[in-house]
A and B are shown apart, each in its own frame.
Chain A
């Protein structure tokens, strides 16, 4: 079964991250590289992506004639996706264990960042939604 593990944060959390020291950032990035390699070597990693900073996020809606109407204003409560992993595991418990490891990635001073990770099943296609 495939699961997606998502890291989100409000703009405030991104601003804090931007203030991490170089050492703290380096430690976090090294953890992520090791973690990704381990998932890859274990055969469970399907895909992982990081997203660019949310300052450039745009929301698009279709206008009356189907044209793209863009807007860059979001409510303060808005959670921005920072990155995700898609993994292929046997059970949801395995997915939660891997998510817990991602959550424990080191933050400032090497302490676990304790980021909440949202875990959701992903589908093969829209037909699997079960309508």
Chain B
């Protein structure tokens, strides 16, 4: 079963992350890297992808002529995707366990960030591809 683990945050959350010390960022990244390595070794890793900071995010709609209309205004409450992991696991509980470990990655001063991680199954058709 393929699951996607989504990490999202508001602009304010991203700004506070940008203020972390280099040591805090390094410690955080080291844990995420080791989780990725473990998932690779267990054969559960499918993909992971960090997204650029949300300041250049655009919303696009199509006009009748097919020309894009773009808009860069979002409500303050908007949750921006920061990154995702796709894992191939035996049970939904295992997907949640991995999400819990990502949530426990250290933040400032080594305290777990406790970031909420949304866990969703991929559509069956997509997960077969």
| Chain A residues with a Cβ under 8 A of chain B | 4-6, 47-52, 54, 56-63, 66-70, 77-81, 83, 86, 92-93, 96-97, 99-104, 112, 114-123, 125-126, 128-129, 131
Given known A-B contacts A59-B117, A61-B100, A81-B120, A120 and B60 have beta carbons under 8 A apart: no
- Contact present for B63 and A100 (CB under 8 Å): yes
Q: What is the total of A-B residue contacts with beta carbons within 8 Å?
A: 175
- Contact present for B69 and A56 (CB under 8 Å): no
B75's closest neighbor in chain A, by CB? A77
Given known A-B contacts A57-B119, A86-B49, A123-B51, A118 and B57 have beta carbons under 8 A apart: yes
With a CB–CB cut-off of 8 A, which chain B residues contact A122?
A: 49-52
Having A50-B123, A81-B6, A97-B67, one finds 8 other A-B pairs with CB under 8 Å, namely A56-B120, A58-B119, A60-B5, A63-B100, A66-B100, A100-B67, A116-B59, A131-B25
The interface bits of chain B over 93-128 (1 if a CB of A lies within 8 angstroms of the residue's CB, else 0) are 000110111011000000010111111111111100
Given known A-B contacts A99-B68, A101-B62, A131-B25, A61 and B56 have beta carbons under 8 A apart: no
In the complex the two chains form, what is the Cα distance from A70 to B5 in whole Å?
13
With a CB–CB cut-off of 8 A, which chain B residues contact A123?
A: 49-52
Of the A-B pairs whose beta carbons lie under 8 Å apart in the complex, a sample of 17, sorted by A's number, is: A49-B4, A49-B123, A58-B92, A60-B117, A61-B114, A62-B114, A68-B96, A68-B103, A69-B100, A86-B49, A102-B62, A104-B66, A114-B61, A122-B49, A123-B49, A123-B52, A131-B25
Taking the closest CB of chain A, its distance from the CB of B36, in whole angstroms, is: 10
Given known A-B contacts A60-B99, A117-B61, A120-B57, A96 and B115 have beta carbons under 8 A apart: no
Taking the closest CB of chain B, its distance from the CB of A98, in whole angstroms, is: 9
**B interface SS class:** mixed
With a CB–CB cut-off of 8 A, which chain A residues contact B62?
A: 99-104, 112, 114
In the complex the two chains form, what is the Cα distance from A127 to B20 in whole Å?
14
In the complex the two chains form, what is the Cα distance from A79 to B78 in whole Å?
9
In the complex the two chains form, what is the Cα distance from A56 to B100 in whole Å?
17
In the complex the two chains form, what is the Cα distance from A51 to B60 in whole Å?
20
- Contact present for A117 and B97 (CB under 8 Å): no
With a CB–CB cut-off of 8 A, which chain B residues contact A119?
A: 57-60, 70
